């Protein structure tokens, strides 16, 4: 079915109106009228081919929230009128060990990302949430707690789950000391989640202007990572640090803060390979790890937790035709803390 969208046609052209085709719902599909779509830094990377594998035209957007308008004959989770959400995945092989464990984001048999993935139904590439509607298998569609602000909930589908998954995996909670590095779209959710899970939460930032906001969002302490004395006070004391920074920075300085058998988990993607001294890991037996978004089950778990604890993202709502300006502001970290597109502006 014809669908209005915004797409980039090349690495150097701005996003602009573009028509795409969506499939009609099959037996297990849910058709969603998109109300809001969060703007992730990954969207910009793909639009400008900064990771080197974008297929054009590309319609970004994987923080999708909307209302169900049609369901297939075999759908049991949703009915017309329900709020529904779609994150970074719209399918996976469902047969590999990762899929069987509910870790579809690590699918080894061929996962399908929400955009710039192989479209197994229509051929070509998948198109994301910078569009008026989307059709997704109900198994990869999520329920949204009714008490959450839909606009502020949409970035939970990436910024939220990207920090929730490692916090849960490494059992952040009472009695644990957790550090969050960087206060952006991911970092501000990491602070909220770590605090809500009961961990002693410390924010690390290079910006003195973010100290007050870090405390407001739930950090017990805020440390300027440029202050060597302040950093030294926390040496070898953290159970877990989640590094959300996507710029080049010192990994060794952060590893020095990890206690015996503690973990530093990278979720940010710096543009260049990051160096680390062997002794930063060897002494005292520290773990350096990574984590990527989350599986469908844990994403639903996160949304349910957010509903029970009234947690959502701090957002700035924009029109669809403001997306190129939003990208430029995002590059300057000029957003607190996630842009969200009001998709009514595309349909007007």
Task: Please determine, for residue 57, whether its predicted confidence score (pLDDT) is greater than 80.
Answer: yes
Q: Residues 150, 8: one domain? A: yes
Task: Please determine, for residue 348, whether its predicted confidence score (pLDDT) is greater than 80.
Answer: no
Q: Residues 11, 135: one domain? A: yes
Q: Please give the pLDDT value at position 223.
A: 97
Q: Please give the pLDDT value at position 284.
A: 93
Q: Residues 243, 329: one domain? A: no
Has residue 11 been placed in a domain? yes
Has residue 296 been placed in a domain? no
Q: What is the CATH number of the domain that holds 46?
A: 3.90.180.10
Q: Please give the pLDDT value at position 259.
A: 98
Structure tokens at 86: 């779609």
Task: Please determine, for residue 347, whether its predicted confidence score (pLDDT) is greater than 90.
Answer: no
Q: Please give the pLDDT value at position 271.
A: 83
Radius of gyration of the chain (CA): 20
Q: Please give the pLDDT value at position 237.
A: 98
Mean pLDDT for 35-39 is 98
Cα–Cα separations (whole angstroms), residue 211 to 203, 229, 334, 337: 8, 17, 16, 14
- The DSSP symbol for 153 reads H
Task: Please determine, for residue 272, whether its predicted confidence score (pLDDT) is greater than 90.
Answer: no
Q: Residues 8, 149: one domain? A: yes
Q: Residues 271, 197: one domain? A: yes
Q: Residues 96, 228: one domain? A: no
Has residue 105 been placed in a domain? yes
Has residue 178 been placed in a domain? yes
pLDDT confidence tier of residue 70, bands split at 50, 70 and 90: very high
Has residue 306 been placed in a domain? no
DSSP calls for 87-138: -SEEE--S-SHHHHTT-GGG-TTT-EESSSSB-TTTSSB---SSBSEEEEEG
pLDDT confidence tier of residue 1, bands split at 50, 70 and 90: confident
* Residues 150-188: tens digit of each pLDDT: 999 999 999 999 999 999 999 999 999 999 999 999 999
Q: Residues 152, 165: one domain? A: no
Has residue 307 been placed in a domain? no
Question: What are the beta bridge partners of residue 204?
Answer: 181, 223
Mean pLDDT for 86-93 is 97
Q: What is the CATH number of the domain that holds 190?
A: 3.40.50.720
Q: Residues 109, 26: one domain? A: yes
How many angstroms separate the CA atoms of 347 and 181, rounded?
38
Q: Please give the pLDDT value at position 270.
A: 86
| Ramachandran category for residue 131: left, alpha or beta (phi over 0 → left; psi -120 to 50 → alpha) | beta
Element (H, E) at 191: helix 185-196
Mean pLDDT of the chain: 96
Domain housing 49: 2-158+313-347
Task: Please determine, for residue 276, whether its predicted confidence score (pLDDT) is greater than 80.
Answer: yes
Q: Residues 91, 152: one domain? A: yes
Which pTM does this prediction carry? Answer: 0.95
Q: Residues 135, 176: one domain? A: no
Q: Residues 188, 279: one domain? A: yes
Has residue 31 been placed in a domain? yes
Has residue 303 been placed in a domain? no
Element (H, E) at 329: helix 323-331
Contact 59, 115 (CB under 8 A): yes
* Residues 247-269: tens digit of each pLDDT: 889 999 999 999 999 999 999 98
Q: Residues 178, 266: one domain? A: yes
Q: Please give the pLDDT value at position 247.
A: 87
Q: How many domains does the chain have?
A: 2
């Amino acid at each position: 079915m014809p669908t209005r969208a915004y797409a980039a046609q090349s690495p150097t052209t701005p996003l602009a109106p573009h028509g795409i085709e969506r499939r009609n719902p099959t037996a297990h599909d849910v058709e969603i009228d998109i109300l809001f779509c969060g703007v992730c830094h990954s969207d910009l990377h793909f639009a400008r081919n900064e990771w080197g594998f974008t297929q054009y035209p590309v319609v970004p957007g994987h923080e999708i929230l909307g209302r169900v308008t049609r369901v297939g004959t075999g759908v049991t989770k949703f009915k017309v009128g329900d709020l529904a959400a779609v994150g970074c995945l719209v399918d996976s092989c469902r047969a590999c060990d990762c899929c069987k464990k509910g870790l579809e984001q690590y699918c080894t048999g061929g996962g399908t990302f929400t955009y710039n993935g192989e479209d197994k139904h229509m051929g070509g590439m998948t198109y994301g949430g910078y569009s008026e509607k989307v059709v997704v298998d109900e198994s990869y569609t999520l329920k949204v707690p009714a008490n959450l602000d839909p606009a502020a909930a949409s970035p939970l589908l990436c910024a939220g789950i990207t920090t929730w998954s490692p916090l849960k995996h490494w059992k952040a909670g009472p009695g644990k000391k957790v550090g969050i590095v960087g206060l952006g779209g991911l970092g501000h959710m990491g602070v909220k989640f770590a605090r809500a899970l009961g961990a002693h939460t410390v924010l690390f930032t290079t910006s003195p202007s973010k100290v007050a906001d870090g405390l407001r969002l739930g950090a017990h302490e805020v440390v300027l990572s440029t202050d060597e004395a302040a950093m030294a006070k926390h040496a070898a004391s953290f159970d877990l640090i989640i590094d959300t920074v996507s710029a080049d920075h010192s990994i060794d300085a952060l590893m020095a803060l990890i206690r015996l058998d503690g973990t530093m988990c990278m979720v940010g993607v710096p543009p260049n390979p990051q160096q680390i001294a062997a002794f930063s890991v060897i002494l005292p037996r520290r773990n350096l790890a990574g984590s990527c978004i989350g599986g469908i089950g844990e994403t639903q778990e996160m949304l349910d937790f957010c509903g029970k604890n009234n947690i959502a993202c701090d957002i700035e709502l924009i029109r669809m035709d403001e997306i190129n300006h939003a990208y430029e502001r995002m590059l300057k970290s000029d957003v607190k803390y996630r842009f969200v597109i009001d998709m009514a502006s595309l349909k007007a």
